[in-house]
Structure 1
Amino acid sequence: MSRIASSLNVGFVAGVLFVLLVYFLVQQQEAISSLSVATTAAVSQWMTDKQLIKAPGEIQQIKAPGEILVASDVHRIADKQPIQDPDVASDVQPISDKEPIHDSEKGEVVCTTESETLGHSETCEVDGDVRTNGTALSVTLVPASWKERREWMISPYSKAEIIVKNVTVTQLQDRATAPPCTVTHSMPAVLFAIAGHAGNYWHDYTDILVPLFVASRRYRGEVTFLISNIQYRPEWLVKYKTLLWGLSKHAWVDMEGDTEVRCFPHVTVGLRVDKELTIVPEVVPGGPLSMADFTRFLRETYGLPRGAAVSLTREPDKKPRLLLIHRGHYRLFLNEPEIAQAAEAAGFETVMMELRANASEAEQARVVNSFDVLLGMHGAGLTNALHLPPGGVVIQVVPYGNIEVLARAEFSEPVTDMGLKYLDYSVSVEESSLLETLGPEHPAIKDPESIHRSGWTNMFEFYLAKQNVRINTTRFAPTLAQAFDHLRQQ
């Protein structure tokens, strides 16, 4: 009997163990199936969103979970002070040690690759419980529930071909790996870099200020700017401080110098360029904006007095004012007095002036706003068209060398989008200093296309760096007449 009882006990235990094993295997299989379905659904949703460009195969795994930090709009722990201008109202409030949990259960990262934009921009829109770590230059989305881990490397400068330290954007798999916030912001943020060609007047607006307006205007000042690369361009922030305060009521953050873990409900990483020095209304987040909206913003921010050019229909006795831009180094007008006389003969009050890149931006804007026509050689100085009153005229003188396509791409459509009349005047070989310095048989004179084919360096050297111009004022007179007629017809 003892032997039978023992056998029964062993059988009973084995049976129980077998049942438990079967149960465990079934539960594990169901869990795996559930995760597989969740992953498939998430990726499917991610791929079908029309704003999403980057495919799963393009994602680069770069950083380990422990290297990632993030944050939101400014509640903060008592022993730390926010990076905030003392004159600007702060939304900083003390909080407990506990990590804030955002209301959004959604949370998503939508990234655009450089191949999808004219300016080769890379951007990510990160929405949900988003945290930034300046010293690691990282932005992290913390999921409310289980998610697949993903990672992107994004250039925060609007032209991705410019080498600048990338921002790591990560969607965490598990919120337990996320560090606690030290500063929590109630407002969104825009992260961008001052780099590349910043300091060149045209690039300042094309690469940074216009795209920043597009990215941030929807927030009506309630946005924090997270700026990287400041140590290399500190003067840039001084020059454009007034415009930055016009877009954000809150102090910007120096990303590389920021030791905080900041939490935001939304972060835009990088700036997007769709067309040079202009805005494509259809792709503006939060609703359409135009280049006319941007120039209106400039007039309001700088307090420019003129919102319309002179109308010769209403004021027939008033002389429209023409600003002839003087250049100090290359691409010079060799006969400026003659050009000024031709403009006076066409009916304009003419002033010659050099518009310096290191001048006060607000003062320069006010000077340009007092004119009706801007006349200049192809170059960054024509960017001052932004400050002309609507209805004014821009005349671009295009140097010899078949560079009309380049010149018009940079100014023709942008100027038109600003609500201005665009005209250009192409220099003939007889008006170019290259004919005298190189001789009629040089390829740059006889065959400009061969210079183009040899690459940008040669093209720039011959047609943009070495060339000065002596305008044939008789040949130029019809262009001046067109400008005058435009003001007479308004």
Structure 2
Amino acid sequence: MYEKILARSFSRYEQRKLGYGAFFACLLVVASFCTVFKPYLGPLPILNLRMSMDSGLKMLMTNDASKLHNKDFTPPDNADGDLQAENRTMSSDFTAEAEKNITVEPETDAQTDSNALQPTSDQGDHNVTVLKPSLVDQAENISLPLVVENVTMTADQADQAKNTTMVQEVEDRGEASGTMKSEISCNFALPRSNSCNITGDVRVSGISGTILVPRFELDPSGENSRSWKIKPYARKTDQTAMEFVREWSVKSVFQPKEVPECSVTHTVPAIVFSNSGYSGNHFHDFTDTLIPLFLGAKKFQGEVKFLVTNYRLSWLNKYRKILKKLSKYEIIDIDKEVSTHCFPNVILGLTSQKELDVDPSMPPYSSQQDFTRFVRDAYSLPRSAAIDLSKDQGSRKPRLMIISRKATRRLINIGRVVKMAKRVGYKVVVAEGNNSANLAKFAESVNSCDVLLGVHGAGLTNMVFLPRNAVLVQIVPLGLEWLSDFDFGQPARDMGLNYLDYGVTKEESSLIQQFPADHIVFTDPYSFQKKGWFQFRTIYLDKQDIKVDVKRLQPLLVKAMELLHR
């Protein structure tokens, strides 16, 4: 019906014209539709999105419990009677087993924990294992947590990171192509020390004890707001040693107005460490500071600055030759610095591996003999090897140094020991072991000797100056067998020295004058260890002097001379 009405209203020509118009109108509509809704054939933008590893690596943990055992159990003393450090060192080690079960969480600005940090070696040290998102599920056997945070990593850096051993949390906003990248790496895994490695734009405020890291590209909420506190001394479980070590903070700053301007800009890295703790005790100076400092600084080949907190000029002067060998620059008393110092890299704290020793299986994969060679070089000591009596044919006598003690564990009949040693064929020197008045001169004297003999104590630390293949003879007081080998026996062997020990009998110990022969002091020294370090120390370290059986000691000195026939 409608078709008939439409046909009557238009002529045949008009109907044809109207049909053409409708056809072109339809084409125009179709073309417009295709233009507006045409498909996008290029790469989809969503493919360029990256998922931040931050969501998957908020907290990574490393199982280092295998290292948490009696290796941390050591409190030697200094040879002139510095019993304070000796009194304290082991007290914390009795709690080492409990430390294994402690889990430390990362801090925020609102809540920080001074005991939360544990050491990390820097990025170049490859100290920890990369945990990619696919490997996070494998990190189940945990003891102490290890957190490392990475800021503004590019795609190339992310690819490179796959071949490194740095655990990373990455935040890449794609906005920082022209900005300096910052990285904060803090290791919570090691049982002996805490440390952080900060690279990029690092600003040190000495007067406030704060290290600031600008991170403008990040959201200052949640995990990004974390901060850390650390005491840069390598005996973290010893509360007595750590009591007066100054605490430092590492903080991220998100607003430009909160960042202090650089008063002094440095082009080399810096290492922050403390002169507090047991500094001043010869054994602890090497164990807690000098060996860890050697491990942390040697890779810089002198191009590093030392920022010392709890600055002690007498300590620095005593070891100035070693410090100058590690750094070409003047040491900075950072606590007094009002100015803001800016560095490209700051290492806060030192990493300690073993007591008076180096673990070659740990970064930077050095050795105890590397350290002793370094010490001989620092003091320009002439002898790298002890006398070889098989070649000398009796033209020279081997030199024997006897370390004397004035307070505890004295060698009461040292005069008779000297006479016996001379009869055996030694040229004998007697010296105090903690000669800090002129350490360089004392180091030369030790280096001139072939055998070093002494009762267990800090004075034996001077074996670091002995030439290779020399002999260390340790007189082991009653009850200290385990401690003596741990503190000096194994370190001596790792130094390339020959090691002999002389176990004291109860008849040679002054304890026989204080307790009956069948007392538990003689029959079960281990029971006193279980009562705690302070009670053990009081009896076996403080109250014990030695009067050796010279006839029984003589064969050991003969054997030492035989070891010099190599």
For the criterion TM > 0.5, the same-fold answer is yes
Q: Which residue of 2 aligns with 1:152?
A: 228
Partner SS, residue 227 of structure 1: strand
Amino acid at match of 1:376: G
- Which residue of 180, 189, 205 maps to 1:133? 205
Q: Which residue of 1 aligns with 2:265?
A: 184
CA contact (8 A) 2:181 2:201 kept: no
Instruction: Give the alignment of 1:302-317 within 5 angstroms.
Output: 302-317=379-394
Q: TM-score, normalised by structure 1?
A: 0.78
C-alpha displacement of 1:52: 12
Q: Which residue of 1 aligns with 2:424?
A: 346
Q: Deviations over 1:450-487 (max 9, x none)?
A: 22222111111111111111111222233222211111
C-alpha displacement of 1:144: 6.5
How has the CA–CA distance of structure 1 residues 61 and 319 changed in structure 2, closer, same or farther, with 3 Å as cutoff? same
* Counterpart check, 1:374 vs 2:452: yes
Q: Which residue of 1 aligns with 2:25?
A: none
Structure 1 residues without counterparts, runs of 5 or longer: 1-32, 65-100
Q: How many Å separate the matches in 2 of 1:379 and 1:295?
A: 19
Q: Which residue of 2 aligns with 1:58?
A: 105
* Counterpart check, 1:169 vs 2:242: no
Q: Which residue of 2 aligns with 1:444?
A: 521
CA contact (8 A) 1:104 1:129 kept: no
* Counterpart check, 1:407 vs 2:499: no
Q: Deviations over 1:273-298 (max 9, x none)?
A: 1101111233234xx32221211121
Amino acid at match of 1:243: I
Q: How many Å separate the matches in 1 of 2:413 and 2:214?
A: 64
Q: How many Å separate the matches in 1 of 2:314 and 2:411?
A: 30
C-alpha displacement of 1:175: 5.0
* Counterpart check, 1:336 vs 2:408: no
Q: Deviations over 1:147-173 (max 9, x none)?
A: 623211111111113222211112334
Q: How many Å separate the matches in 1 of 2:256 and 2:182?
A: 12
Q: Which residue of 2 aligns with 1:224?
A: 305
Q: Deviations over 1:220-276 (max 9, x none)?
A: 11101011011xx33211211222111111111112101111111111110111101
Structure 2 residues without counterparts, runs of 5 or longer: 1-45, 66-101, 112-175
Q: How many Å separate the matches in 2 of 1:446 and 1:473?
A: 24
* Superposed CA RMSD: 2.8
Q: Which residue of 2 aligns with 1:429?
A: 506
Q: TM-score, normalised by structure 2?
A: 0.68
Q: How many Å separate the matches in 2 of 1:395 and 1:409?
A: 14
C-alpha displacement of 1:105: 4.5
CA contact (8 A) 2:433 2:458 kept: no
Q: Which residue of 1 aligns with 2:441?
A: 363
CA contact (8 A) 1:213 1:247 kept: yes
Amino acid at match of 1:384: N
Q: How many Å separate the matches in 2 of 1:314 and 1:428?
A: 37
Q: How many Å separate the matches in 2 of 1:133 and 1:310?
A: 52
C-alpha displacement of 1:305: 1.1
How has the CA–CA distance of structure 1 residues 58 and 128 changed in structure 2, closer, same or farther, with 3 Å as cutoff? same
Instruction: Give the alignment of 1:229-244 within 5 angstroms.
Output: 229-230=310-311, 233-244=312-323
Instruction: Give the alignment of 1:90-105 within 5 angstroms.
Output: 105=180
- Max Rg structure: 2
CA contact (8 A) 1:107 1:144 kept: no
Q: How many Å separate the matches in 2 of 1:190 and 1:52?
A: 25
Q: Deviations over 1:28-68 (max 9, x none)?
A: xxxxx9xx976x52354675698999x9971122479xxxx
CA contact (8 A) 1:215 1:271 kept: yes
Amino acid at match of 1:110: S
Q: How many Å separate the matches in 2 of 1:344 and 1:52?
A: 49
Amino acid at match of 1:108: E
Partner SS, residue 135 of structure 1: coil
Q: How many Å separate the matches in 2 of 1:410 and 1:237?
A: 24
- Which residue of 84, 89, 111 maps to 2:186? 111
Amino acid at match of 2:334: M
CA contact (8 A) 2:216 2:254 kept: no
CA contact (8 A) 1:215 1:284 kept: no
How has the CA–CA distance of structure 1 residues 102 and 239 changed in structure 2, closer, same or farther, with 3 Å as cutoff? farther
How has the CA–CA distance of structure 1 residues 45 and 144 changed in structure 2, closer, same or farther, with 3 Å as cutoff? farther
Q: Which residue of 2 aligns with 1:42?
A: 54
Q: Deviations over 1:402-453 (max 9, x none)?
A: x211111111121112111111111011110110233324432343222222
Amino acid at match of 1:227: V
- Which residue of 538, 543, 547 maps to 1:461? 538
How has the CA–CA distance of structure 1 residues 51 and 437 changed in structure 2, closer, same or farther, with 3 Å as cutoff? closer
Partner SS, residue 430 of structure 1: coil
CA contact (8 A) 2:502 2:553 kept: yes
How has the CA–CA distance of structure 1 residues 185 and 46 changed in structure 2, closer, same or farther, with 3 Å as cutoff? farther
How has the CA–CA distance of structure 1 residues 408 and 57 changed in structure 2, closer, same or farther, with 3 Å as cutoff? closer
